[in-house]
Chain A
Amino acid sequence: MPNTQTLHTEEQIWDYIREVTDPEIPVLNIIEMGVARSVDIDHSGKVTVKITPTYSGCPAMNAIEKMVKEKLEEKDIEDFEVKLDFSEAWTTDWMTDEAKVKLKDYGIAPPEKSVNDDDFLKSLSGTKIVPCPFCDSFETELQSQFGSTACKSQYFCNSCHQPFEHFKCI
C-alpha cells in the first residue's frame, strides 16, 4: 500500500528534530549537542532516528527520546522509531563550534578537545585551566568535578568572583 509518509525527506526530518532542544541546556538543540546521530527513511517510508546518550545515567535522555517522538507525531509522521544507539560513545568533540559559542554565551564554559587515554594516568595530579565564560580570566579554580548535572563541573572565577559551570570534556 502506498504510504503518504514518503512525502517527508530526510532533510525535512533533520529540520524537525532541530526544533528539539536539550531540556537542561535549552540554548542547544539535539543536533548541535551531537545527540541526534542519523535519520533513515526506508522504502516503506518508515522513519528511523538514532540518538545517543551523552552520559550513561543522564535523566535528560528519556526526556529527549520522548520529545523527538512527540515532534515526529506533531509533524504527522506515523510510522517511525526512535532508537538509542550505543555503538559509538558520545564525545564532546561532536558538539559543533557554533554550539560551543552558544554555551559560553549562556554562561557555561564549553568543553575543549578531549585528550587520549595515554595521558590520563599521568595527568591525574595536574589540573587544567578553564577560562571564565563571563570575564575570560584564567584566574579560576576547580570547586568540584561534579555539578548540577553529570556533564558539568563547578568552577569559581577569582577575577569576577562568580561561580560558573564547565561542560566536562569527554
Chain B
Amino acid sequence: MNTTKELSVKESKIAYLLRLADDRLILGQRMSEWCGHGPVLEEDLALANMALDLIGHASSLYAYAAEIEDEGRDEDHFAYFRDDYEFTNLQLCELPKGDFAFTIARQFLFSSFSYYQYQQLKEAKDEQFAGMIDKHFKEVKYHLRHSRDWVLKLGDGTEESNKRMQDAFDELWMYTGELFYIDGVDEMMLAEGNGADLLSFKDEWKKLVEDTLTEATLSVPDWDQFMMTGSRTGMHTEHLGHMLAQMQFLRRSHPDADWK
C-alpha cells in the first residue's frame, strides 16, 4: 500500500499512538473472551487480568492521542466509533482466540515484541508518553513471563500439548513479519526521539523466540516464508469486522449514554 501523503509531526504522533493503542485494545478484547472459559480458575483470572492491563494501556494511549489531536474527542471515540479500515492494529492481534495454546503462542510473540519495543519507548523525550510506557512496561514483563512459562510447559508436555503448541506457532508465523513493518510514521517518531527503532532489536527478539521454542522442544518455523502485510495502513483479516461489530454495537446504539 502506498502512503505517499506527507504527515506532519503531530499527525505522525497521533498515528503512532493509535497503532500502539489499537494493538492493545484489539488483543485485550480477544483475551477478554476467555473470561469464564479459562482451562483452570487461575488461568481464567490470569487471562482476564492481562486483558484488563492491555485495555488499560490502550485507554491511556487513546486519551493521549485525543489530547494531542485537541478536537474535543476522547478515548471512546477511537475505540467505538471507527470502522475496521481505520484500525491500524497488527493482524496478529485480531485473530480469533483459538484454543489455549493459540492464545498463549500469540501472547508470547506479542509480549516479547512489546518488551523490546517498550524498553526503547520508555526512554522517549516526551515525558508524559515515557511515563505512560514505563508503567505499561512493568506489566508487559509479567505477561512475557506468564506466556513463556506456558510455552515451555505445553511444548515440553504431552504429545497432545506439544502438537497444539506447534500448530499454533505454525499458524501464527505468517503474522510475525508485520511486527517489524516500518514506514514514515515510525521514521518521523524515531527522528523526534519518541519512537522505537524496531530493526535494532529484531535479531535479539528472534533469538529469544527461537531459544524459547527450542527449549520447549518445538521446531522453529521458517522466518522466510510468506508474510502478511498491510495492517498498519488499515488492511485486515475478515475477523476484525466481526469483532468490532460485537464490541462497538452497544456504544453505537446508545452514543449519548452516560454512567450515572
**Chain A residues in the interface with B (C-beta under 8 A):** 53, 55-59, 86-91, 117, 120-121, 124, 143-148, 150, 154, 168, 170
Taking CB as reference atom, which chain B residue is nearest A170? B138
Choose from A86, A117, A124 the contact partner of B60 (Cβ within 8 Å): A86
Contact B60 A89 (CB under 8 A): no
Taking CB as reference atom, which chain A residue is nearest B142? A145
User: How far apart sit A86 and B131, CA to CA, in the bound complex (Å)?
Assistant: 6
Contact B132 A86 (CB under 8 A): yes
Can you list 13 residue pairs at the A/B interface with Cβ under 8 Å? A55-B56, A56-B139, A57-B49, A88-B134, A121-B208, A144-B45, A144-B46, A146-B42, A146-B45, A146-B49, A146-B142, A146-B146, A170-B142
Contact B138 A89 (CB under 8 A): yes
Chain A positions within 8 Å of B137 at CB level: 89
Task: Give residues 1-52 of B contacting A (CB, 8 Å).
Answer: 42-43, 45-46, 49-50, 52
**Chain B residues in the interface with A (C-beta under 8 A):** 42-43, 45-46, 49-50, 52-57, 59-60, 119, 127-128, 131-132, 134-139, 141-142, 144-146, 148, 208
7 smallest CB-CB distances across A and B, nearest first, come from: A57-B56, A56-B56, A57-B52, A144-B42, A89-B134, A89-B135, A146-B46
Contact B135 A168 (CB under 8 A): no
Contact B60 A56 (CB under 8 A): yes
Taking CB as reference atom, which chain B residue is nearest A54? B135
Contact A87 B127 (CB under 8 A): yes
Chain B positions within 8 Å of A89 at CB level: 131-132, 134-135, 137-138
Choose from A91, A120, A148 the contact partner of B45 (Cβ within 8 Å): A148
Contact B148 A124 (CB under 8 A): yes
Chain A positions within 8 Å of B55 at CB level: 57
User: How far apart sit A111 and B234, CA to CA, in the bound complex (Å)?
Assistant: 42
Contact B135 A120 (CB under 8 A): no
Chain B positions within 8 Å of A154 at CB level: 42
Contact A87 B53 (CB under 8 A): no
Taking CB as reference atom, which chain B residue is nearest A61? B56
Chain B positions within 8 Å of A56 at CB level: 53, 56-57, 59-60, 135-136, 139
Secondary structure at the B interface, as helix, strand, loop or mixed, is helix
User: How far apart sit A121 and B46, CA to CA, in the bound complex (Å)?
Assistant: 21
User: How far apart sit A138 and B251, CA to CA, in the bound complex (Å)?
Assistant: 50
Taking CB as reference atom, which chain B residue is nearest A91? B138
Contact A168 B142 (CB under 8 A): yes
Chain B positions within 8 Å of A59 at CB level: 52
Beyond A90-B135, A145-B46, A146-B49, 10 additional pairs, beta carbon < 8 A: A55-B56, A56-B57, A56-B60, A57-B56, A86-B128, A86-B131, A89-B134, A124-B145, A146-B45, A146-B46
Chain B positions within 8 Å of A88 at CB level: 131, 134
Taking CB as reference atom, which chain B residue is nearest A150? B49
Chain B positions within 8 Å of A144 at CB level: 42-43, 45-46
Chain B positions within 8 Å of A148 at CB level: 45
User: How far apart sit A87 and B246, CA to CA, in the bound complex (Å)?
Assistant: 34
User: How far apart sit A146 and B134, CA to CA, in the bound complex (Å)?
Assistant: 20
User: How far apart sit A145 and B144, CA to CA, in the bound complex (Å)?
Assistant: 11
Report B138 CB to chain A, min CB distance, Å: 4
Report A145 CB to chain B, min CB distance, Å: 5
Contact A150 B42 (CB under 8 A): no
Taking CB as reference atom, which chain B residue is nearest A168? B142
Choose from B43, B119, B139, B142 the contact partner of A117 (Cβ within 8 Å): B119
Report A139 CB to chain B, min CB distance, Å: 20
Chain A positions within 8 Å of B138 at CB level: 89, 91, 170
User: How far apart sit A58 and B139, CA to CA, in the bound complex (Å)?
Assistant: 12
User: How far apart sit A145 and B45, CA to CA, in the bound complex (Å)?
Assistant: 10
Chain B positions within 8 Å of A55 at CB level: 53, 56, 139
Contact B139 A170 (CB under 8 A): yes
